[in-house]
Amino acid sequence: MLILITGVTKGLGRALAEWYMANGHTVVGCGRSAEILEMRFTYPAPHDFAVVDVTDENKVALWSEKVTGVHGSPDILICNAALMNNPAPLWKVPAAEFNKLIDVNIKGVATVLRHFVPPMIARGTGVIVTLSSGWGRGTSPEVAPYCASKFAIEGLTKALAQEIPSGMAAIPLNPGVIDTAMLRQCWSTEAAGYPKADAWAKIAAPFILQLGSKDNGQSLSVTGFAE
């Protein structure tokens, strides 16, 4: 199975990619950090990793052309790339920080979908998973920009689910609370009390594999691990 993951160099994206590759699937991924070069060396063809900023329309378009030309359209597309704001009351979050988060978390997802969903539609099959959050269905103080972005992802994905043909699926997925750099940005050392990304992926990766048209438009959550 061909699985495309954005934000693949760290956190949940990296954990998913490593589980899928270890279990016989081909992974195509992108990220902005130099760790992409390490992944290219560690995981050669048929896997394919590229330095792509999901907020750059032209670069995403070129990446999509290359990926679909070499690999075809993905069986599963996982939009994972996202940023967290530094915790602060909304009025204290600098405009530049707020705008960058919205650019990545919402507009970046839309850009990836704009270029990868059409070939999936042309084939008539495929599952689109957008990583949402508990903060896309509820709120907490000092993470208002992140909450806004994930509420938007819920709405965007559920509307997309009404637009794609039968046989496909678009699903906003709450991964649960995982000890990642993003969570540590919010909760500091408290994040250490939650499951690590690798342990989470052992549950989440096969869960995503079994998603299909029956799940189209549903807000789902990864469960079954100790939180």
State the CATH number of the domain containing residue 56. 3.40.50.720
- CA 166 – CA 27 distance, rounded (Å): 25
Q: Count how many domains the chain has.
A: 1
Catalytic residue among 20, 43, 146, 194: 146
Let me know if residue 224 belongs to a domain: no
Let me know if residue 221 belongs to a domain: no
Let me know if residue 223 belongs to a domain: no
| Contact in structure between 87 and 95 (CB atoms under 8 Å) | no
Dihedral (CA of 33, 184, 177, 108) sign: negative
pLDDT 10s digits, 68-106: 999 999 999 999 999 999 999 999 999 999 999 999 999
Let me know if residue 222 belongs to a domain: no
Residue 179 pLDDT exceeds 80? no
Let me know if residue 196 belongs to a domain: yes
pLDDT 10s digits, 112-144: 999 999 999 999 999 999 999 999 999 999 999
Let me know if residue 176 belongs to a domain: yes
Residue 226 pLDDT exceeds 60? no
| Other CB atoms within 10 A of residue 161 CB | 19
Let me know if residue 80 belongs to a domain: yes
| Other CB atoms within 10 A of residue 164 CB | 19
**Is 146 known to be catalytic?**
yes
pLDDT 10s digits, 52-73: 999 999 999 999 999 999 999 9
Let me know if residue 136 belongs to a domain: yes
- Annotate the chain with three-state secondary structure: CEEEEECCCCHHHHHHHHHHHHCCCEEEEEECCCHHHHHHHHCCCCCEEEECCCCCHHHHHHHHHHHHHHHCCCCEEEECCCCCCCCCCHHHCCHHHHHHHHHHHHHHHHHHHHHHHHHHHHHCCEEEEEECCHHHCCCCCCCHHHHHHHHHHHHHHHHHHCCCCCCEEEEEEECCCCECHHHHHHHHHHHHHCCEHHHHHHHHHHHHHCCCHHHCCCCEECCCCCC
Q: Which domain holds residue 30?
A: 2-213
